[in-house]
Amino acid sequence: MSATNVGFNPIADLSRISVAKMSRKSAKHRLALSSGKRINSISDDASGFSLARGLEANRRGLAKALDNIGNAKNLLNTALGSYDEINELLMKIKEKTVQGADGVFNTAQRNAMQGMIDAALTEIDDIINSTAFQASNLIDGTYTGKTFQTGAYAGTTFNVDLDNADTTVLGLTGVSVATSADGRAAMDNVDDALVLLARSMQKAGEYVIRLEVKESTLRHTRDSVEGTRSRIEDADFAYEQMQQSRIQLLQDMGFTSLKDAIAAPQQVLSLFA
């Protein structure tokens, strides 16, 4: 193969092919460096592209499930906050019933105690009616059989039932301290109400604990899925930069070779000038 063939210059043709090949490779590595991805189209790696898309869909599903868990926790914490307020009111009612069980107080004083008890009972029912999340009442007995989507697949759900905590369910109708005997009877009713409310609070609290475990598990799963996707799809910047530098050097050498190959026939012709 001669570079001095005037009619046909195979060295120049080979040099052009080599330079074009290096240019294509260089463009691919530049794209990887600019996009941050090793796979930018299905033609780069068909199986890797498909796998990465599936992992990305899974990651997004897990991220949305984490949002759902956050919403569920906010809802339950709303209910728990109201349960706690009701518990505080029951404690105040308990204080008044203990006070009313003592025979030292006169009618006027008992009427004052009763007014405080009635106001607290009214406030409990007001809390029941005003405790809502996304326009759904939570602790009036209607928030039952609710299902939260807590995973990226259809079967990963979480069911919630919140107890009614109104004065009727708690057995606080007719609480009276008109006499010391009434006060003692009321004490038992309030104690029973506190037990019922504690069970409701415990159930809601256990829901939150379980959701926190699910949340932690989902975060680990999401991070693992994202790590796997990244290893398949994302660019290794150190590798891409190294390859780009190597290809740039080969390109420079190719351009020099092409320039020399094109010049060789001209040098032959100059001998006959």
Asked if 5 and 266 count as a contact pair (C-beta separation under 8 A), the reply is no
Q: How far apart are CA 136 and CA 148, in angstroms?
A: 14
Asked if 68 and 149 count as a contact pair (C-beta separation under 8 A), the reply is yes
pLDDT-derived band at 150, boundaries 50, 70, 90? very high
Going by their DSSP bridges, the two strands 157-160 and 132-133 should be labelled as unpaired
| Identity of the amino acid at 265 | P
* Least trusted range by pLDDT, from 24-38, 45-59, 128-142, 153-167: 24-38
Q: In the structure, how many helices (H) and strands (E) does the chain have?
A: 5, 4
Asked if 63 and 222 count as a contact pair (C-beta separation under 8 A), the reply is yes
Asked if 269 and 6 count as a contact pair (C-beta separation under 8 A), the reply is yes
- CA of 138: how far to CAs of 75, 131, 149, 188, 262, in Å? 8, 6, 18, 27, 84
* Least trusted range by pLDDT, from 71-80, 132-141, 219-228: 219-228
* pLDDT score at 232: 81
pLDDT-derived band at 4, boundaries 50, 70, 90? very low
pLDDT tens digits, residue range 100-134? 999 999 999 999 999 999 999 999 999 999 999 99
pLDDT tens digits, residue range 244-259? 667 666 666 655 665 6
Indicate the pTM of the whole model.
0.74
Grouping H, G, I as helix, E, B as strand and the rest as coil, residue 141 is coil
Q: How far apart are CA 249 and CA 77, in angstroms?
A: 63
Q: How far apart are CA 9 and CA 264, in angstroms?
A: 9
What residue has token string 């052009």? 16
Q: How far apart are CA 121 and CA 115, in angstroms?
A: 10
Mean pLDDT on 66-73? 97
* pLDDT score at 269: 47
Is the pLDDT reported for residue 203 higher than 80? Answer: yes
Asked if 45 and 39 count as a contact pair (C-beta separation under 8 A), the reply is yes
* pLDDT score at 270: 56
Q: What integer best gives the mean pLDDT of the chain?
A: 84
Q: Which of 210, 201, 184 has the alpha carbon at shortest distance from 87? A: 201
Report residue 218 as tokens. 């989902």
Report residue 16 as tokens. 């052009």
pLDDT tens digits, residue range 29-43? 566 666 667 677 777
Mean pLDDT on 76-103? 97
